[in-house]
Amino acid sequence: MMRIDSRTSSLISDELGELFKALGNVNRLLLVYSLASGEVERISVTEMSKCMGLTQPAASQHLKVLKTAKILIAQKEGNYIYYTFNKQALQKHKKTIDFLFNCALSKCEQLEKR
């Protein structure tokens, strides 16, 4: 049986809350999708602003949110800063989310058996 203690929950919920907030915006989620799909391999601020119909500062701010939430990392290359997935952090995020959902689902099973 999976368990979460209350200390764990408040520690994780800060980090996870930030992750969910970052992904809980249509523009940012669509960007993540287009990177995940391979539609684009990496994206610069300018590219994002163009392909999503946003101003340059808006794109910059969105990418900052995704970087702060450890979804993307920034890598300077020539004149551009390219944003790509933060692999290590994503793996960690995935584990945390899996854990939460597995806890929830095993809780469901447990309640059904009665």
Partner DNA sequence: TAACTATATAAGAATATACTTATATACTTT
Partner DNA sequence: AAAGTATATAAGTATATTCTTATATAGTTA
Q: What angle do CA 80, 83, 85 make, to 5 degrees?
A: 155
By beta-carbon proximity to a second copy, the closer residue of 29 and 61 is 29
**Residue 82 binding target from a second copy, DNA, none, CB below 5 to 8 Å by type:** DNA
**Does position 55 bind DNA by CB under 7 A?**
yes
Nearest to 61 by CA among 78, 42, 48, 75: 48
Q: Between 53 and 72, how does the x/- string for binding to a second copy read (CB under 8 A)?
A: --------------------
Q: Contact residues for DNA (CB under 7 A)?
A: 21, 24-25, 27, 44-47, 54-58, 60-65, 74, 76, 78-82
